[in-house]
Amino acid sequence: MRRRALFLTAAATFTIVAPAIGWAARRLPDPPGARRLSLRHAANGATFSGIYHNGRDFDPVAMAELSEVLADTRTGKVREFDPSAVDIVWEMGRRQRFSEFVVLSGYRTPETNRAVHGAGDSQHLRAAAMDLMMPAAKFATFGEAALKLGRGGVGLYPDQGFIHLDSGPVRHWGGGEGRAIAVGATPPAPRKSAAQMRVDRMAEAWAAMRRR
């Protein structure tokens, strides 16, 4: 992104000048109440790392950059991402001490949503949802915290290794047979339901897209 490129250029210039004046370059402290987030999209490697809310309001330039990182990866189409969804991910990162999230899916066009067998009313269609890769060791505690947060939708997919967060109505699903996974428990090996088979097809479709 252009803003990050300019920042890196300025930083490189500064580190050359700083020794001449006898003090090292340091990052200025964040403004009070600032919200900082780091994301990396698994499909194309696009990244965002920085402040998206300055403590008073959302930074429009940073939100535009986030929207680009979370664009539909099949078509490249960008839609302005819902700030409330970004806030939910930030809050979960703050509570669970995540330095970076790896995103499997952000905004989806209707065509992409159909291609990955997404729900017809998916919050991905309104750029208000993220599917986040989740290490197995952190899955249960993160899932429990997301449910306790009580904001938006939470989808738990332990077999596929990701958690869905969105800013839609408060609801939850997943974990096998449509139930939320019990924290600290080993999920049973359920019979494949129609919903589970749809999720499997979705994961396979995303994997195929990343291989292209």
Tens-place pLDDT, residues 46-99: 999 999 999 999 999 999 999 999 999 999 999 999 999 999 999 999 999 999
The first and second tokens of residue 13, run together, are 């210039």
Q: Tell me the pLDDT tens digit for each residue of 121-146.
A: 999 999 999 999 999 999 999 999 99
Q: Which residue has the tokens 């001449």?
A: 20
Instruction: Tell which residue, 66, 141, 59, 131, has the closest CA to residue 97.
Output: 141
Residue 144, judged by CB atoms within 10 A of its CB (0-12, 13-18, 19+), counts as middle
| pTM for this entry | 0.73
The first and second tokens of residue 139, run together, are 């899955």
- Residue 13: pLDDT over 70: no
Mean pLDDT of 160-177: 91
Please answer whether residues 112 and 71 qualify as being in contact, where contact means their C-beta atoms are separated by less than 8 angstroms: no
Mean pLDDT of 102-129: 97
Chain mean pLDDT for the chain: 81
Please answer whether residues 128 and 121 qualify as being in contact, where contact means their C-beta atoms are separated by less than 8 angstroms: no
